[in-house]
Structure 1
Amino acid sequence: MTEPTTTGHEPVDDREVRPRTAYVGRLEIQWDPRILEPRPWTAEQSRWAASLLTDLPPGPVLELCAGAGHIGLLAVAGTRRELVCVDIDPVATEYAAANARRNGLAAQVSTRTESIADAAEHPTSYSLVLADPPWVASAETGRFPEDPLRAIDGGADGSALAVDCVRTAGRVLAPGGALVLQVGTEAQLDGPVAAAGREHGLVEVERRVFERGVLALLRHADGQVSG
């Protein structure tokens, strides 16, 4: 996350938007202020996912709340895995597709502009789901004025969309598959996320805590394998 301040969000004038470049791992990622700026630390989520893919069953990867697509792209780079990037914001999915082309991954990557829940309505099953949902509590979003509100607002306690991601993952993961979820705090994992996991047959088997966020690995309750 960006460093917090006390001012409010300012709308972005589309006429003044200019693409910017960020480097995440070995990838060159373009974005603009209408979507969330890629954070270098999120490459940790990609690296964890990539290490899991060597042992996960065959099948594509789903990235929920994909934004510019950098987490999923870095995870599948150097593999033959197909990646589906999903985001409700069409600007985000346009950037995800463009970033796939920019980094030579277009043949592996498709995008869909739809909600987290709608991502579960397709017949495809996935060996891995990556999710980087908005996880800032609604009352705290004013502390991050540089970030688009929709990209950071996670509801009352910051976990609403993380819970949605767990629900969708529970429906689309293939047997033996895994979810790597990013949230803001361990309390979010211990409370709403854990409850949603129990409801949908997923349990946390490992977590990794970083200065700017927390990652968790969830697996089907009948196949816990730590990464």
Structure 2
Amino acid sequence: MIDRMESVMESVVGGLDIRWDRQVLEPRPWTVEQAEWLAELSATAPAGAALELCSGVGHLGLVLHRLTARRLVMVDANPRACELAAENARAAGTEQVEIRNSVMTRALESQERFALVLADPPWVPRAEITRFPDDPTIAIDGGPTGLDLAVQCLDLIEQHLLDGGHAVLQLGTAEQVEELMAERAPTRVELVEVRRRERGVLAHLRTC
């Protein structure tokens, strides 16, 4: 059951007022770099919608939508995160956002395709999540190696990214990116660039 007695807070992220509480991951302003990078890449992407996987309260997807005006589908397994994402979308004044509360492997129809994909999976190895006591376990636990949800994200990017499309995936380290690409060895998607940031890395993927 969702605890609605949790106090709701607000942060300004990418120029948007974003509501959140302690049942979800706090939206950090420095994470906006991910949405801004994908928005830049949007200029060379085909027409089509954007998808955000592991969207949390929706701040990155909403920034991407504001910068590109593309229709947006956001997916997250946490019902409270989806409730807050819906509130944040309404506050942003957009009607072109669809929020799906689902595990991501069941969230998309087989025929759905997207021009852009933001992927923000939990990437902290399970043995290390105690290093981040203020963060909800569901939002940071990436399994034994930190890649359990990242593997699912990469599979969905492989299946649902349009030809000529772009994705930006966040992980903890460049080594995790290398391990992920080696483990899954996608056939339609290639790694273009990895950028280090304040906490973690961003990986640009595109169809090949």
Instruction: Give the TM-score range, shorter chain.
Output: over 0.9
Unaligned runs of 5+ in 1: 1-12, 223-227
Letter in 2 for 1:215: L
Letter in 2 for 1:157: T
Tell me the CA shift for residue 15 of structure 1: 5.2
Is the CA contact 1:134–1:152 (under 8 Å) kept in the aligned structure 2? Answer: yes
Q: Following TM superposition, where does structure 1 have runs of at least 4 consecutive aligned residues deviating by more than 4 angstroms?
A: none
3-state DSSP class of the match of 1:117?
Answer: helix
Q: Counterpart in 1 of 2:188? A: 201
Instruction: Verify the 8 A CA contact 2:39 2:67 in the aligned structure 1.
Output: no
Paired residues in the alignment total 208
CA drift of 1:199 comes to 3.1
Unaligned runs of 5+ in 2: none
Q: What is aligned with 2:201?
A: 214
> Which residue number in structure 1 is paired with residue 51 of structure 2?
62
1:124 and 1:172 in contact (8 A); partners too:
yes
Distance 2:68 2:170 in 1: 22
Give distance in 2, aligned partners of 1:141 and 1:23: 26
What letter is aligned with 2:190? V
TM-score of the aligned structures, taking structure 1 as reference length: 0.87
Q: 1:205 to 1:83 in 2, by over 3 A?
A: same
| Structure 2 residue aligned with 1:9 | none
TM-score (norm 2): 0.95
Query: Hey, what's the Cα distance between the residues in 1 that align with 2:4 and 2:83?
Result: 17
Among 101, 105, 111, the alignment partner of 1:117 is: 105
Q: 1:89 aligns with which of 71, 78, 90?
A: 78
Which amino acid counterpart does residue 55 of structure 1 have in structure 2? T
Distance 1:217 1:78 in 2: 18
CA deviations on 1:162-207 (whole Å, 9 max, x unpaired) are 11100011111111111110001111001123432x2342111011
Structure 2 CA distance for aligned equivalents of residues 21 and 129 of structure 1? 26
Contact residue 194 and residue 204 of structure 1 kept, 8 A: no
Counterpart CA distance in 1 for 2:89 and 2:4 is: 25
**Residues in 2 aligned to 1:110 and 1:15: alpha-carbon distance in whole angstroms:** 23
C-alpha distance in 2 between matches for 1:60 and 1:92? 21
For the Cα contact (< 8 Å) 1:162–1:193, is it kept in 2?
Answer: no
Identity of counterpart residues, as a percentage?
47
Q: Which residue of 1 aligns with 2:135?
A: 147
Amino acid at match of 1:142: T
Following superposition, the deviation at residue 211 of structure 1 comes to 2.3
Q: Which amino acid aligns with 1:217?
A: H
Query: Taking structure 1 as reference, are residues 119 and 193 closer, same or farther at Cα in structure 2, changes over 3 Å only?
Result: farther
**Alignment correspondent of 2:11:** 22
Residue 116 of structure 2 is matched in structure 1 by: 128
The offset of 1:78, in angstroms, is: 4.1
Tell me the SS of whatever aligns to 1:111: strand
The residue aligned with 2:165 is 177
Q: Partners of 1:206 and 1:167 in 2: how far apart?
A: 19
